[in-house]
Amino acid sequence: TKPSVYITREVNKDAVDLLKEHCDVTSWTGPGPVPRDELLKNIENKNGLFCMLTDKIDSTVLDKAGKNLKVIATMSVGFDHLDTQEIKKRGIKMGYTPDTLTDATAELSVALLLATSRRLLEANQEARTGGWKAWSPFWMCGPGLKDSTVGIVGFGRIGQQIARILKSFKPKRIIYYNRSERLREAQEIGAHRVNFDELLAQSDFITLVASLTPETKNLFDESAFKKMKSTAVFINTSRGGLVDQDALVNALQNKIIWGAGLDVMTPEPLPLDHALYKLKNCVILPHIGSAAVETRNEMGLVTARNIIAAFKEEKMPYELIV
Ligand code: GLV
Ligand code: GLV
């Protein structure tokens, strides 16, 4: 008999068809993320789980699944929704989807940076609502990238690709903060490693693309925003949990920093009455970093391949090792 797999969301048909060649597949087909009680009910006795970043996979889920669960593959690069230690302890393999989404996410990060610094949404709104009276010398101005210092927090695949793209905008300097050195990549790109406080103090643009771990939680807190330039633009396309969001609201309200562009926040979706929506100097996107058509399809396929390889006891294309 084929191994059984539960998919927590409707995904691309190619990915499901590929899985079905090797596995018995059942899926949640409702309009939103799988409700917790549905997940708990359907995971029972399954051999594999194909999940999303909206599914919290903790020991309750693992207990429900039982001893036959062999692999958990998430259709995301981020894995803070997985209790990785608990999963590892139980000998369950994990898969994720780095590489496939690097370019799409870097592209979106740069788009968000430009939308924030050049005030695209605010300007569009002005044009549509009669605020555009005449061309004006200083109206709708924002900081330009040329000759600026760009700071990248998290110099992984996505951070490096952002640096490569931003180079074409001719910044004076690209600096990065990363736990490991990444010297070879930095040399190739022409970026310089600094410590966190140096990055905060020197950067005109800060783009945050680090993974959320207990060590990076609330990395951007009140004291971090205070160390930044009052003209700085802050971009986050990683996870909301890296930022103390109340401190960010305060920094934006009181012009401690110039502006922010966020693709991720806490919680998601951000409640409609949240203070961040009231700020003109904040651009908010609904977590669409990897949302390029081809990318999302490929993420589905990679997730399926991860599961199939785990069942065949072959090398998984992207095994998550913690
Ligand atoms: C998106 O946020 C991802 O982790 O893939
Ligand atoms: C992080 O995982 C990255 O790919 O940058």
DSSP-assigned states of every residue in 251-304? HHHTTSSSEEEES--SSSSPPTT-GGGG-TTEEE--S-TT--HHHHHHHHHHHH
Q: Name 284's bridge partners.
A: 262
Integer-rounded Cα Rg, in Å, for the chain is 21
Q: Can you give the pTM of this predicted structure?
A: 0.96
Question: Token digits for 198?
Answer: 């140096």
- The DSSP secondary-structure symbol of 2 reads P
Atom of ligand 1 nearest to the CA of 79: 4
Q: Order the strands of the 233-236 sheet from edge to edge.
A: 191-193, 173-177, 149-153, 205-208, 233-236, 259-262, 282-284
Is the Cβ atom of 300 under 6 angstroms away from ligand 1? no
Q: How far is the CA of 62 from the centre of ligand 1 (A)?
A: 22
What is the location of CATH 3.40.50.720 in the chain?
A: 4-99+293-311, 102-284
The reported pLDDT for the residue numbered 232 is 98
- CATH class of the domain at 4-99+293-311: alpha beta
pLDDT in tens, 291-319: 999 999 999 999 999 999 999 999 999 99
Strands 4-7 and 24-27: parallel
Q: By CB neighbour count within 10 A (0-12 exposed, 13-18 middle, 19+ buried), where does 67 fall?
A: exposed
Contact 311, 71 (CB under 8 A): yes
pLDDT in tens, 245-270: 999 999 999 999 999 999 999 999 99
Is the Cβ atom of 211 under 6 angstroms away from ligand 2? yes
Top mutation candidate among 209, 213, 242, 321 for ligand 2, by most atoms within 8 Å of CB? 209
Q: What architecture does CATH give domain 102-284?
A: 3-Layer(aba) Sandwich (3.40)
Query: Looking at residues 54-69, what average pLDDT do you find?
Result: 97
Query: Looking at residues 155-162, what average pLDDT do you find?
Result: 98
